[in-house]
């Protein structure tokens, strides 16, 4: 009887220890001490843009507090390839952003960043859709890094 009781106590203490370790790790990730508050619209790619900008700007510590509002728009068009036989598709991503001082409400920096990606023809509809989504996500990451670099240059 005591052998079973000892095993039960060991299992419960091990479970308690593992459970507390996982909870403490998840709580360490949440705090952010950024000087820049990011505001984006709430659709899929703008939410991804907000996430990428928050991830990049979370370690910027400055004397002043700033609000960064940004939104992304896409434009697709067909372009000719070098041989002129088949048309390629081009997608253009453009982000408009404003950096505003939180205390004085003064516009600090405003701009627009544009990047283009060409992509070939894919035969299946599923492949086209997945390729388009992947390209839009890559554009968000690339454009958010461009905005981050411009803001970093201004603040330093």
- Mean pLDDT in residue range 144-154: 92
Report the 10 Å Cβ neighbour count for 156.
7
Arch. (CATH architecture) of 32-155: 2-Layer Sandwich (3.30)
Reduced DSSP (H G I as helix, E B as strand, rest coil) percent helix, strand, coil of the chain, to 5:
45, 30, 25
How far apart are the C-alpha atoms of 86 and 118, rounded to whole Å?
13
Q: Is the pLDDT of residue 27 over 70?
A: no
Up-side HSE of residue 29: CA atoms within 13 Å toward CB? Answer: 5
How far apart are the C-alpha atoms of 107 and 47, rounded to whole Å?
23
Lowest mean pLDDT among 19-33, 41-55, 117-131: 19-33
Q: Is the pLDDT of residue 23 over 50?
A: no
**Pair of tokens at residue 2:** 């005591």
Percentage of the chain lying above the pLDDT 90 cut: 47
Contact 70, 95 (CB under 8 A): yes
H or E element at residue 137: helix 125-155
Full-prediction pTM beyond 0.75? no
Contacts of 144 (CB under 8 A, 6+ apart): 49, 52, 53, 56, 95
Question: What tens digit of pLDDT does each residue of 72-102 get?
Answer: 999 988 877 677 677 788 899 999 999 999 9
The structural domains of the chain, with segments of one domain joined by +, span 1-31, 32-155
């Amino acid at each position: 009887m005591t052998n079973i009781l000892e095993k039960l106590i060991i299992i419960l203490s091990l479970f308690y220890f593992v459970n507390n370790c996982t909870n403490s790790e998840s709580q360490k990730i949440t705090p952010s001490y950024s000087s820049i508050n990011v505001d984006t619209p709430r659709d899929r790619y703008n939410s991804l843009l907000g996430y990428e900008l928050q991830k990049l700007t979370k370690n910027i510590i400055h004397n002043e507090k700033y609000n960064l509002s940004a939104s992304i728009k896409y434009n697709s068009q067909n372009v000719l390839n070098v041989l002129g036989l088949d048309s390629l598709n081009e997608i253009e991503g453009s982000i408009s952003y404003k950096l505003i001082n939180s205390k004085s409400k003064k516009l600090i920096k405003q701009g627009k960043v544009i990047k283009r990606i060409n992509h070939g023809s894919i035969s299946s509809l599923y492949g086209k859709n997945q390729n388009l989504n992947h390209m839009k996500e890559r554009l968000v990451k690339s454009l958010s890094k461009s905005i981050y670099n411009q803001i970093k240059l201004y603040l330093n």
